[in-house]
Structure 1
Amino acid sequence: MGNNGHGGTRDPGRGRQDGSGTGIRAITEDDIPGWDRALAVGFLRPHAGEATEYRRLGFEPGRSLGAYDGERCVGTFRSFDAELTVPGGATVLADAITSVTVSSTHRRRGLLRAMMTRDLAAAHERGNPVAILIAAEYNIYGRYGFGPATSTHGWNIDLLRAGGLRKDLPAVPGGRIDFATMAEVRKVGPEFHERWRRTQPGAITRTEVGWRVRTGDVKAPGPEWQEPFVALHRDATGTVTGLVAYKVDDNWDGSYPDCTLTVLDLQALDGPTAVGLWRFVLSVDWVRKVVVENLAPDDPLPLLLNDPRAATPYADNSDFTWLRVLDVEAAFAARSCGGPGRIVLDVTDPLGYADGRWAVEAADDGTCRCTATTDEPDLALGVGALGTLYLGGESVARLAAAALVTELRPGAAARADLLLRTPARPWNPDGF
């Protein structure tokens, strides 16, 4: 991995001195126990227990970095390739960044910057058009060119007030719902998810290890796993068209049931399937409240209820996936646009990958292309704002009102919104 002028990287097998005597290097399998310990300490979870074997399952040579002070690991960083669905249904191969920590004893020494710039340089060299991560803290990752690109929106539903789903909603002819064992979920879940994620901008691949964790076949560090209820929706041909996973607490008010059902995962290939799954969830005996922790921000769930006011926003609604553009031309060529037009963007990127002036053009059929240009720009923005706009989860006009985009020609923000608009807001239901 060469020094591309974007952060001063060196060969991934060698240590990199950050100026304080701490070395940055790609770890080997033998390093995993110490790296795992540093990860737990960095996430303030030293009590979580040793997870070396779990870490080995996802280990890829060269993709996990450690910061070392002598023999002690004091910083961790890992990335892997994940397919990301973009507007229009195509996918790009994203550099998915995770397990990022720096021990409290070694903060403010440039360790995160050294690991991040090294990984981004390697991702750019591999040809990843974008990088993604989930930010534990809002103010950290903007400095590396990331911007919030998807969000979550959960709901609390009071079933007595909701009055169930409307009777006029469509149903799947011959559809049925059945509970599934964890073994069945491991068998049919991955194939179904592959079909579903291609319909949802912002969704990413689920790994084989991830499926084993969510079905209890592998123990991941953290809270003790408990088997959820999982139900599959099939159409008249027997094809799986939807999945819901949930848990139910066992609360009673004296002799009266007062249980809360929490939806952990719900995906449907079409509206009628979603209606069938929601009708099932909202009719479980003993349940008085349904909590949906993470749903697409534009999901119509409240409007399906007889009384939409019975659905109130979940407390943890927030930004979720953050995105950084590494190859502007490749990233925009992969996605579709909302309508014909042309807009010239003047992008500032301190690391250089997206820096420059770019013409984004769309044909009548929504086909998008992006090329470098010397034309006068319509809008000026940083690479973080570009990442926020890429999946269509935010409007240009709103970012301009927040002084995150500068309108250089009158009306350019509105024109850009027409160009970049998407029929569905991006959503990623999966942490990584």
Structure 2
Amino acid sequence: MTSRADIDVRPIDETEFADWQRALNTGFLREPTLFQEILDARRAQFTPGRSLGAFDGGRCVATFRSFAQELTVVGGATVAADAVSNVTVTATHRRRGLLTRMMTRDLAAARERGDVVATLIAAEYPIYGRYGFGPATSTTEWTIDVPRAGLDPRWAGPEDGGRVDLVDAEDVRKLGPDLHERLRRAQPGAVGRDELWWRITTGAVRFHPTFQEPYYVVYRSAGGEVEGMAAYTADDNWGDGKQPLNTARVKWLIGVTPAAERALWRYLCSIDWVVRVKTGWRAPDDLLPHFLPDPRAAAVTTHADWLWVRILDVVRALEARTYQVAGSLVLEVADAGGPAGGRYRLEAAADGTGSCARTAEDADLVLDVADLATLWLGDESAVRLAALGRVREERAGAARQADALLRTSRRPWCPDLF
């Protein structure tokens, strides 16, 4: 077995991209070798210095990639994030500290660049807490039993004077970015989508050899403004007696008004032959079930953690967001060997703005940096974490005060997988 010291962890260059991609596919249990055109397409994501590999005897055995991202926080401001993705360690080289070496290197570079946080979507829950990441948003998927929903099968159009139209991929690339930007600015937990994202999702850049072109549908308000858009696919499944049993699967759906969301879900539930709609990843407090006359027709089929956050700069993270009420809180943050450890005083003003600075005052709450990330976007309760033993009150009532300051009326949500 090669010693840990003899395994070289470093940024890859373009000549090593194919070997790196083979290791990535192996780690994700995909077919190892890509068609050349798919490999060439994936090179579009290559950024020098931000794709790391571990090499044993010249073969890549672990992968890691990060890229620049903007994350929306409570109140609508954005912070610079180091988005972590494509993390694998080949089964032959597990438990040798390769992920730790790659993660440590990347987070140090992120801190040096001035990134406020790092983000990722965790394939496995137990891995990333030890690097200071905490789950900051959740996601829910519903399966709609269309015949049970109680919708009028004779009418599918919006009742507000708006209209729903099918469009093509080129229309999506034109209309989608501005629409998503409107959503992102109002949705804590959302992240930016660059031009490459829209090209990949519409098939202009093919990342997968089996890309299935979805249907695209747009909702326009009575005034003609684009307020919602969705992409979906459908299967071809017929039961005994020539009965249609088809399922529509939503790849993504964004709406900047409740009317847009209602109209798009109503459309999806009205498609001929479709008896089930799989909603894809939605906010855990999505309005969807209550758009249906019978909300029980939308059954939860997945509910799980989603976006994980690692706070790199506590002061900037806490000052970027807004607050529900005025008040102050002293937090003692544990971050073993990391940049976020220390004691901080948070002051929230009546106008919702906050200021934060290091302090020598006695702490009100003691918590790990991963738990601070869990609280930061407003989804979790400090009282709940205290009951779990993950937050310790040094002043009676401090956890309840933290909830009053930090929790939000609607839950944060990240619509994207990256």
User: Same fold by TM-score, threshold 0.5 exceeded?
Assistant: yes
- CA deviation profile, 1:268-320 (whole Å, cap 9, x unmatched): 11111111112212211212122112111111211221111222111x32111
Contact 2:23 2:32 in 1 (8 A): no
Q: Secondary structure at the match of 2:179?
A: helix
Q: Secondary structure at the match of 2:356?
A: strand
Q: Secondary structure at the match of 2:323?
A: coil
Residues of 2 paired with 1:52 and 1:284: CA distance?
A: 36
Q: What pairs with 1:277-292 in structure 2 (closer than 5 Å)? A: 277-292=264-279
Letter paired with 2:66: S
Residues of 1 paired with 2:205 and 2:3: CA distance?
A: 37
Q: Do residues 39 (structure 1) and 24 (structure 2) align?
A: yes
Identity of aligned residues (%): 53
Q: What pairs with 1:237-276 in structure 2 (closer than 5 Å)? A: 237-253=223-239, 254-276=241-263
Shift of the alpha carbon at 1:323?
0.3
Match of 2:75 in 1: 88
Match of 1:345 in 2: 331
Q: Do residues 49 (structure 1) and 34 (structure 2) align?
A: yes
Q: Do residues 21 (structure 1) and 14 (structure 2) align?
A: no
Shift of the alpha carbon at 1:19?
4.4
Residues of 2 paired with 1:260 and 1:26: CA distance?
A: 43
Q: Secondary structure at the match of 1:154?
A: strand
Match of 2:61 in 1: 74
Contact 2:311 2:340 in 1 (8 A): yes
Q: What pairs with 1:153-168 in structure 2 (closer than 5 Å)? A: 153-164=140-151
Match of 2:189 in 1: 202
Mark the CA change 1:99 to 1:34 in structure 2 (over 3 Å): closer, same or farther: same
Q: Do residues 211 (structure 1) and 215 (structure 2) align?
A: no
Once structures 1 and 2 are overlaid, which stretch shifts more, 128-137 or 233-242?
233-242
The equivalent position to 2:104 in structure 1, one of 114, 117, 125, is 117
Q: Secondary structure at the match of 2:140?
A: coil
Residues of 2 paired with 1:57 and 1:20: CA distance?
A: 32
Q: Do residues 375 (structure 1) and 358 (structure 2) align?
A: no
Contact 1:162 1:308 in 2 (8 A): yes
Residues of 2 paired with 1:394 and 1:268: CA distance?
A: 25
Shift of the alpha carbon at 1:70?
2.6
Match of 1:193 in 2: 180
Shift of the alpha carbon at 1:173?
4.4
How many residue pairs match? The answer is 411
Q: Do residues 304 (structure 1) and 277 (structure 2) align?
A: no
TM-score (normalizing by structure 1): 0.91
| Structure 1 unaligned blocks of 5 or more | 1-16, 166-170
Residues of 2 paired with 1:109 and 1:122: CA distance?
A: 22
Match of 1:135 in 2: 122
Q: Secondary structure at the match of 1:306?
A: coil
Match of 1:334 in 2: 320
- CA deviation profile, 1:164-200 (whole Å, cap 9, x unmatched): 28xxxxx674311111101111221122111211111
Residues of 2 paired with 1:337 and 1:147: CA distance?
A: 20
Runs of 4+ aligned structure 1 residues displaced above 6 Å come to none
Residues of 2 paired with 1:172 and 1:209: CA distance?
A: 35
Contact 1:32 1:55 in 2 (8 A): no
- CA deviation profile, 1:140-160 (whole Å, cap 9, x unmatched): 100000001111111111122
Match of 2:344 in 1: 358
Residues of 2 paired with 1:18 and 1:147: CA distance?
A: 31
Mark the CA change 1:248 to 1:197 in structure 2 (over 3 Å): closer, same or farther: same
The equivalent position to 1:64 in structure 2, one of 51, 66, 70, is 51
TM-score (normalizing by structure 2): 0.94
Letter paired with 1:331: A
Contact 1:20 1:109 in 2 (8 A): no
Once structures 1 and 2 are overlaid, which stretch shifts more, 184-193 or 130-139?
184-193
Mark the CA change 1:426 to 1:342 in structure 2 (over 3 Å): closer, same or farther: same
Residues of 1 paired with 2:190 and 2:257: CA distance?
A: 16
Shift of the alpha carbon at 1:423?
2.3
Match of 1:179 in 2: 166
Once structures 1 and 2 are overlaid, which stretch shifts more, 303-312 or 332-341?
303-312
Contact 1:24 1:66 in 2 (8 A): yes
Letter paired with 2:339: Y
Match of 2:155 in 1: none
Residues of 2 paired with 1:126 and 1:307: CA distance?
A: 51
Residues of 2 paired with 1:108 and 1:257: CA distance?
A: 50
- CA deviation profile, 1:61-114 (whole Å, cap 9, x unmatched): 111111111311111111001111111011111100001111111111111111
| Structure 2 unaligned blocks of 5 or more | 153-157
Mark the CA change 1:331 to 1:108 in structure 2 (over 3 Å): closer, same or farther: same
Contact 1:231 1:245 in 2 (8 A): yes
